[in-house]
């Protein structure tokens, strides 16, 4: 299982061998250190914990986390994430060389927060008519409730916070890998804003090859 932690840098565009213009995202991926392996005997399941962006321990605000790093005899890291089992020894560094152009990866991040939004923007509802007599332009409309049950069911599509949610793309194609700069270029957009954190791992879906 190949996995990395990264940060979204920017979007760009690349040209395929046939001249096709491909939108792409540049990700600063790794290097990450394998901090710990959890096993079925110790934790009840198998996983691996990776650390990203080494920092001095004095900058850690959570003293319990600093104690955990000391227990592992590892440098302190700004970002710690848990993945499915990574086939690498504890203490070793893993980088973008795990991937190659044409691979399919799963990318998880936090989408951009857009604040409070109405039902039209949030759920793509249709608006009311703007002709004479129309007074139902951008309103939500009826929620389907009457005397019974006299309440609104949980999960009803209404106005509310838009974005700022954990989002996953399960079949993103790798366009190019630059190990010397620890950069990963993938096809299309990925969740989050610039400098946003991303979890990257190999995906079993979308195995179609894409030449860089």
Structural domain span for residue 54: 3-115+160-202
Question: Is residue 129 a part of any domain in this protein?
Answer: no
- CA angle 177/31/207 to nearest 5° reads 40
> What's the domain count of the chain?
1
Look at residue 124 and tell me if it is in a domain.
no
The CATH number of the domain holding residue 76 is: 2.40.30.10
DSSP state of 58: G
Tell me whether residue 138 is in a domain.
no
In a domain, 142, yes or no: no
Burial class (CB in 10 A: 0-12, 13-18, 19+), 47: middle
Residue 93 in domain: yes
Looking at residue 132, what is its pLDDT?
Answer: 86
**Which whole number is the average pLDDT over 104-113?**
94
Whether pLDDT at 207 is above 80: no
Assess if residue 126 is contained within a domain: no
Q: Which residue has the higher pLDDT, 144 or 15?
A: 15
pLDDT band with cut points at 50, 70 and 90 for residue 212: very low
Q: What is the pTM of this model?
A: 0.81
- Mean of per-residue pLDDT scores for the chain: 87
pLDDT value of position 211: 45
CA–CA distance from 153 to each of 123, 144, 156, 157 (Å)? 17, 9, 6, 10
In-domain check, residue 140: no
Any domain includes 187: yes
Summarised one tens digit per residue, pLDDT across range 10-66 is 999 998 778 889 999 999 998 999 998 988 888 888 889 999 988 887 777 778 888
Mean pLDDT score, 84-92? 84
């Amino acid at each position: 299982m190949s996995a990395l932690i990264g940060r979204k840098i920017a979007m760009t565009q690349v040209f395929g061998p046939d001249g096709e213009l491909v939108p792409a995202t540049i990700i600063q991926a790794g290097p990450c250190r394998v901090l710990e392996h959890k096993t079925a005997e110790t934790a009840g399941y198998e996983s691996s914990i990776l650390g990203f962006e080494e920092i001095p321990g004095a900058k850690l605000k959570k003293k319990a986390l600093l104690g955990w790093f000391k227990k592992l005899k590892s440098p302190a890291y700004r970002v710690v994430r848990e993945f499915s089992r990574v086939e690498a020894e504890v203490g070793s560094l893993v980088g973008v060389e795990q991937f190659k152009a044409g691979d399919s990866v799963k990318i998880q991040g936090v989408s951009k927060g857009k604040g409070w939004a109405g039902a039209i923007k949030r759920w793509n509802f249709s608006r009311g008519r703007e002709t004479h007599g129309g007074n139902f332009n951008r309103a939500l409309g009826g929620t389907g409730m009457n005397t019974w049950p006299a309440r609104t069911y949980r999960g009803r599509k209404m106005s509310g916070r838009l974005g700022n949610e954990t989002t996953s793309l399960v079949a993103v194609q790798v366009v190019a890998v630059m190990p010397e700069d620890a950069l990963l270029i993938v096809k299309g957009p990925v969740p989050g804003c610039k400098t946003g954190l991303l979890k990257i791992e190999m995906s079993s879906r979308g195995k179609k090859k894409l030449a860089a």
